[in-house]
Structure 1
Amino acid sequence: MAPPPSPTEHHLVALQGDFINTPEFELPPPHTCKRTIYGQTALSDLHARIHDATIVVIGALRLDAETLSPEVTPYLRLIMVVAAGTDCIDLEACRKRGIAVSNCPAVNTEAVSEHALGLYFAARRRVLRLHTLIRAGEWPRRRTLMFDCRAHDGTPPMTCQEEVAGIIGNGAVGKRIASLARGLGMKVIVAERKQPEDPSALGHPNGNQERLPFETVIKQSTVLFLAVPLAPTTRNLLSTAEFEAMSPHAVLVNVSRGGVVDEEALVKALQENQITGAATDVFLKEPAGPENSPLLAEGTEDLNLVLSPHLAWYTQRTLINSERMFKQTVEKWCVGERMNAVV
């Protein structure tokens, strides 16, 4: 085994360079930072690639307890997540070894929020179905496709002024979605946690908006936006009971994490017309395909279900924001300064 690096010698290994631009770092002497960049990394290559790293950079690659053991990563001292979520990392293993974890919160707020509104319009107005029908020549054959954009109960789409937008997740993205929704004329209601740690805090003000009990928001919303991190308390946050309680006119939009929504329960809710439609940018298993996702299984083709491949974050602004925060964080950590975002 090679001798451990000195406190001023850093070896950064970026494992997903195809998606993350690794900048040049400006460090004062005697600090140095060697960079090793891989475009993409298969799990079979993971341990060998990060064995000598003091800094590991990822976007959404799984780093479990075995990967974070002293045998696999003996020199690791910092994990830089160039994304908002950290659910892919065993944080307890990092705590035990004193490995710092930093992420990039709020760098994609505008991108994800705008994508959420786009998904909403696509599902509410059945844009993909109409697109498919018109490309197939159905408009001249049928004379009108008006009936194909109706909800399952025969009602035409709502306008924004008729919508009650429920927001589950009161972080930067949730707040931005709420602001955009209000700007479009929607009534916005913001949910408390499903199981608040302090029941006496229910109904406390949230800026100009009072937060309502989770169950109330589920029942009253005609469009429900999910923008929460994946944690034990949010796994399967929406499942059979929640779909049964929702309005039959409701559209669900998930831009949080796969695993927050019970995918099998969602398919069943759409098949049984418990809700009008759904749209998601995230999946329990990614990359998602017919072989690993109920949302893409046989028989789901005709559901009012709009899908995008976890790219709500992907805009020019997000990449600029991410690279800037990535650079600042690593430079501060290398010289022993306090980082802006520590998980």
Structure 2
Amino acid sequence: MPLPSAEHHHIVFLQGEVLQIPQFTLPAPFTYSQTVHPWTSAPEVAERISDASIIVLSAVRVDAVALSPEVSPHLKLIVIVASGFDCIDLEACRKRGIAVSNCPAANIEAVSEHAIGMYFAARRKLLDMHLATRAGSWKEKGLLMFDYLDKDGTPPLTCQDEVAGIIGNGSVGKRIAMLAGNLGMQVLISDRKTSNAADSSRVPFDSVIKQSTVLFIAVPLNESTRNFISTPEFESMSSHAILVNVSRGGTIDEDALVQALRERRISGAATDVFKEEPAGPGTSPLLAEDVADLNIIATPHLAWLSQKTLINYAAKLKLAVEEWCTGQPVNVVT
């Protein structure tokens, strides 16, 4: 296998088993070879990218050590087959002039529909009802209605009674807002947490936190959004509030969320993402054994999963590599 050169690229796929890998058509005089690893853990990254000029990944962490000239001397382009890019040390890439591209807006439909599904699961306690019914509790008790009333003894809200707060007004946030509105919810689009700008289409962050009965989180993870929903926000929320997170786990203070649920400050939570992933009982308080009685719906960062998403990802990956080779890179994040 030839090493990368001015006219030859070696593309290394770090998580090939979750991708539809396209056939690239590079402009002359460029050629390419490729190595496909089905899956790569963070400790394996450095060794696997040592002879790559282009790497393709979905979520694995690539740190400053892996991005050093000593470890990845040929590296010129990183394509993230996802919207988020917090797994890459962007500063290290800037210092070396390594281009980083992502694949935005590929999973809009899947993620937004997953968010709405998680809302219904949490609001209606569908999983608990399913398990109780399967276990024979309905036959045994005759009536399970009182097991599924809210903490104040009232039945769950219907969509027409919901106030949906949308935190994040990107492509996913906009589609969630559309779906929520079509279901009959009153929709509030939040302004940024710290903003002095006047925008008549948005509602101040604090007002959205207080007024919403269902709060959808759809923001990227950066320093301004890390743990930006924490104890003060939970203390301000409606006691009927359901929190739905389909963005990044680090945006929510997980310990504060568990505490809010224990103290019944809010009604429930649903999350597809966790601060540390892959997540399990030993890594996240949201999955610990002692929270089994709380109204928490959890899925394993698969809100994006759909046929359409995979097709979109393949097309955007192909475009990112080919356009970069022409000197006209797309979706560049640094």
User: CA separation in 1, counterparts of 2:302 and 2:32?
Assistant: 30
Identity of aligned residues (%): 60
- Matches for 1:311-326 after TM superposition, within 5 Å: 311-326=302-317
- Matches for 1:1-343 after TM superposition, within 5 Å: 5-196=4-195, 199=196, 201-202=197-198, 204-205=199-200, 210-336=201-327, 338-343=328-333
SS of match in other structure, 2:95: helix
Contact 2:27 2:325 in 1 (8 A): no
Structure 1 position 5, deviation (Å): 3.2
User: CA separation in 1, counterparts of 2:170 and 2:41?
Assistant: 32
Pick which of 280-289 and 4-13 moved more: 4-13
User: CA separation in 2, counterparts of 1:137 and 1:164?
Assistant: 35
SS of match in other structure, 1:299: helix
User: CA separation in 2, counterparts of 1:272 and 1:132?
Assistant: 24
User: CA separation in 1, counterparts of 2:89 and 2:42?
Assistant: 16
Structure 1 position 334, deviation (Å): 2.0
What is the one-letter code of the residue matched to 2:283?
Answer: N
Contact 1:31 1:335 in 2 (8 A): no
SS of match in other structure, 2:5: coil
Which string of whole-angstrom CA distances, capped at 9 and with x for unpartnered residues, describes residues 66-102 of structure 1? 1111111111000000000000011111111110000
Contact 2:27 2:322 in 1 (8 A): no
User: CA separation in 2, counterparts of 1:326 and 1:99?
Assistant: 17
What is the one-letter code of the residue matched to 1:275?
Answer: I
SS of match in other structure, 2:10: strand
User: CA separation in 1, counterparts of 2:240 and 2:291?
Assistant: 19
Structure 1 position 339, deviation (Å): 2.4
User: CA separation in 2, counterparts of 1:44 and 1:96?
Assistant: 23
Contact 2:192 2:205 in 1 (8 A): yes
Which string of whole-angstrom CA distances, capped at 9 and with x for unpartnered residues, describes residues 242-277 of structure 1? 101000000000000011000011011011100001
Pick which of 109-118 and 41-50 moved more: 41-50
Structure 1 position 285, deviation (Å): 0.7
User: CA separation in 1, counterparts of 2:320 and 2:266?
Assistant: 44
Which string of whole-angstrom CA distances, capped at 9 and with x for unpartnered residues, describes residues 23-73 of structure 1? 111123321111110001123321111001000101001011111111111
Contact 1:25 1:327 in 2 (8 A): yes
Pick which of 168-177 and 146-155 moved more: 146-155
User: CA separation in 2, counterparts of 1:311 and 1:293?
Assistant: 17
What is the one-letter code of the residue matched to 1:342?
Answer: V
Structure 1 position 3, deviation (Å): 9.8
Query: What is the number of equivalent residue pairs in this alignment?
Result: 333
What is the one-letter code of the residue matched to 1:32?
Answer: T
User: CA separation in 1, counterparts of 2:208 and 2:191?
Assistant: 9
User: CA separation in 2, counterparts of 1:285 and 1:233?
Assistant: 18
SS of match in other structure, 2:91: helix
Structure 1 position 120, deviation (Å): 0.1
SS of match in other structure, 1:309: coil
What is the one-letter code of the residue matched to 2:293?
Answer: D
Structure 1 position 279, deviation (Å): 0.2
User: CA separation in 2, counterparts of 1:268 and 1:185?
Assistant: 31
Contact 1:279 1:307 in 2 (8 A): yes
User: CA separation in 2, counterparts of 1:266 and 1:109?
Assistant: 26
Pick which of 87-96 and 17-26 moved more: 17-26
Which string of whole-angstrom CA distances, capped at 9 and with x for unpartnered residues, describes residues 210-246 of structure 1? 2111100000000000000000000001111110100
What is the one-letter code of the residue matched to 2:192?
Answer: R
Q: TM-score, normalised by structure 1?
A: 0.95
Contact 1:10 1:334 in 2 (8 A): no
User: CA separation in 2, counterparts of 1:141 and 1:330?
Assistant: 60
Contact 2:3 2:10 in 1 (8 A): no
